[in-house]
């Protein structure tokens, strides 16, 4: 993960601030930064979404190559902690897996672009990418997240495979949460063409695509979970940590929560240890925050959809 160098005194300041529920930017321990969601940004996908967390500084971009100072990769970025994720979903037809013959499935791929931080140059971002992809697989690996049976066209022969590609454009802390929000928004936006299977006398099947390009099926994303990352700083934990706060935290808990507050999976990251009481508290916070997160996301997605296809699109040049 991208890291920031901080002096002892700065870390002490951050830790004491968290104890008093006043973080460096004035937020409380359970407050998120401002999230901007936009769907349907990439035109040649079945569904896409772009999620931005935090304030974007319009003047600072990573233009120009900064020479590394002899092996030390402590690169302090000059922006204010802003995370930018782009997710594209492509639906393709394929054969179902052997053990789940009447279901489709999802494939995740995460690309940590070198745009996000110089640490991701070359193969540097692969480790983080596989870690995030594995986490996404685990979250979606249960019956109720996405209705996979609706992705089946004909059992054992054809099904829809959804290839979900995640692109990290900027890394400003709190990657997992933002990626999960973006995946949920992209799946909400996904339109899969409606197909019919025609069987003729010899028994050979033909797949017919509907003539109307707007005739498609949508996925229900009601039960898609969201990740809430809780970083332990000092004796308390915070939600939506910035890069500086992540540098002060030794252990974090990733909790995947559905919109009803049900925890689907949990994972601990970091070198430090967590005692069981903290884990329990963090889980409770995760459930609470997760429910609010889902409610906000649902309302934003419905609001965007209610604006209709003629809504002003901001896209990448806004």
Partner 1 sequence: MAVEMRLPVARKLLSESVGRDTKKHLVVPGDTITTDTGFMRGHGTYMGEEKLIASVAGSVERVNKLICVKALKTRYNGEVGDIVVGRITEVQQKRWKVETNSRLDSVLLLSSMNLPGGELAEVQAVFSDGAVSLHTRSLKYGKLGQGVLVQVSPSLVKRQKTHFHDLPCGASVILGNNGFIWIYPTPEHKEEDAGGFTANLEPVSLADREVISRLRNCIVSLVTQRMMLYDTSILYCYEASLPHQIKDLLKPEIMEEVVMETRQRLLEQEG
SS in 3 state form for 11-26?
A: HHHHHHHHHCCCCCCC
Smallest distance, partner 1 to C-beta of residue 7, A: 7
Smallest distance, partner 1 to C-beta of residue 253, A: 17
Smallest distance, partner 1 to C-beta of residue 193, A: 27
Nearer to partner 1, 5 or 207 (CB): 5
Nearer to partner 1, 205 or 303 (CB): 303
Nearer to partner 1, 213 or 312 (CB): 312
DSSP string for the chain = -------HHHHHHHHHHHHTT--TTS--TTPPPPEEEEE--STTSSEEEEEEES---TT----SPPPPBTTB-----SS---EEEEEEEEEEEEPPPSSSTT--EEEEEEEE-TTT-GGGTTTTTHHHHHHHHHHHHHHH-STTTS-GGGGEEETTTEEEEEEEEEEEEE--S-HHHHHHHHHHHHHHH-EEEPEEEEE-TTS-EEEEE-S-TT-EEE---TT--EEEEEEEETTEEEES--HHHHHH-SEEEEEEE-TTS-EEEEEEESSS---HHHHHHHHHHHHHHHHHHHHHHHHHHHHHHHT-TTSPP-TT--
Longest dimension (CA), the chain: 79
Nearer to partner 1, 276 or 318 (CB): 318
Nearer to partner 1, 17 or 104 (CB): 17
Nearer to partner 1, 81 or 104 (CB): 81
- Cα-to-chain-centroid distance, residue 62: 23
Smallest distance, partner 1 to C-beta of residue 178, A: 11
Smallest distance, partner 1 to C-beta of residue 70, A: 7
Tokens representing residue 296 in the block: 């906000």
Nearer to partner 1, 65 or 123 (CB): 65
Q: Provide the binding-site residues for partner 1, judged by CB under 8 A.
A: 5, 7-10, 12-13, 16-17, 19-20, 22-28, 30-38, 52, 55-60, 64, 66-67, 69-70, 72, 74, 76-80, 288-289, 292-293, 296-297, 299-300, 303-304, 312, 314, 318
Smallest distance, partner 1 to C-beta of residue 80, A: 6
Smallest distance, partner 1 to C-beta of residue 115, A: 17
Smallest distance, partner 1 to C-beta of residue 289, A: 6
Nearer to partner 1, 208 or 284 (CB): 284
């Amino acid at each position: 993960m991208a890291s920031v160098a901080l002096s002892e005194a700065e870390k002490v300041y951050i830790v004491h601030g968290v104890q008093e529920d006043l973080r460096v930017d004035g937020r409380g321990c359970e407050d998120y930064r401002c999230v901007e969601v936009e769907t349907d940004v990439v035109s040649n996908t079945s569904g896409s979404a772009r999620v931005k967390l935090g304030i974007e500084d319009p003047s600072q971009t990573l233009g120009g190559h900064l020479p590394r100072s002899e092996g030390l990769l402590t690169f302090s970025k000059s922006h204010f902690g802003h995370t930018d994720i782009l997710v594209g979903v492509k639906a393709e037809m394929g054969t179902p897996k052997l053990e789940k013959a009447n279901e489709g499935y999802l494939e995740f791929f995460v690309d940590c672009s070198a745009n996000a931080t110089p640490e991701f140059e070359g193969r540097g971002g692969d480790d983080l990418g596989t870690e995030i992809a594995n986490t996404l697989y685990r979250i979606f690996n249960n019956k109720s997240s996405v209705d996979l049976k609706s992705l089946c066209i004909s059992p054992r022969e054809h099904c829809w495979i959804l290839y979900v590609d995640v692109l990290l454009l900027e890394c400003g802390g709190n990657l997992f949460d933002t990626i999960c929000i973006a995946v949920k928004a992209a799946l909400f936006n996904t339109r899969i063409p409606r197909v019919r299977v025609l069987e003729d006398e010899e028994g050979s099947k033909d797949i017919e695509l509907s003539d109307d390009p707007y005739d498609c099926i949508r996925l229900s994303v009601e039960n898609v979970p969201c990740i809430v990352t809780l970083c332990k700083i000092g004796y308390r934990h915070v939600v939506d940590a910035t890069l500086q706060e992540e540098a002060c935290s030794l252990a974090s808990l990733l909790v995947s929560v559905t919109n009803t507050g049900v925890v689907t999976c949990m994972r601990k990251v970091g070198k430090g240890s967590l005692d069981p009481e903290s884990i329990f508290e963090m889980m409770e916070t995760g459930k609470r925050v997760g429910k609010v997160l889902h409610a906000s996301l649902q309302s934003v997605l419905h609001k965007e959809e209610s604006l209709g296809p003629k809504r002003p699109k901001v896209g990448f040049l806004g």
